[in-house]
Amino acid sequence: MAKLYSDSQHNWLWSLYLLNLLLLPGLAAAVAMMLLWRYGVNANGKRVLYAFMLCFFLLVAVPSLAWFSLAHGALFWVFFITYWVTAHASCILLGVLGLVRRFH
């Protein structure tokens, strides 16, 4: 199997991570997972994989659990929207810091 250069893989994976959060949810994640599967997972790939798993948990699993277990009153929507915006912004910040980590 061909190996990507570590720097190139690092940049592409974090860019796909951010693209998944900002423009193409699901599609960019599928491409990133395909690249990780095809070219192997190095230390940079593990960080991106953990970031994908963390954000899946924060942005899909926890809100789904809250959606199906709580009543949908006004207070629910206040907390739900506040949580979603905060978690999404945190995941974006994680991606930006992962991308620029290489350049320090």
Query: What pLDDT tens digit does each residue of the chain (104 aa) get?
Result: 445 446 677 788 899 999 999 999 889 999 999 988 888 788 778 889 999 999 999 999 999 998 899 888 998 999 999 999 999 999 999 999 988 876 65
Q: Give the torsion sign (CA, 36, 41, 46, 50).
A: positive
Whether residue 91 contacts residue 21, with contact meaning beta carbons closer than 8 Å, is answered with yes
pTM exceeding 0.85 = no
Whether residue 12 contacts residue 35, with contact meaning beta carbons closer than 8 Å, is answered with yes
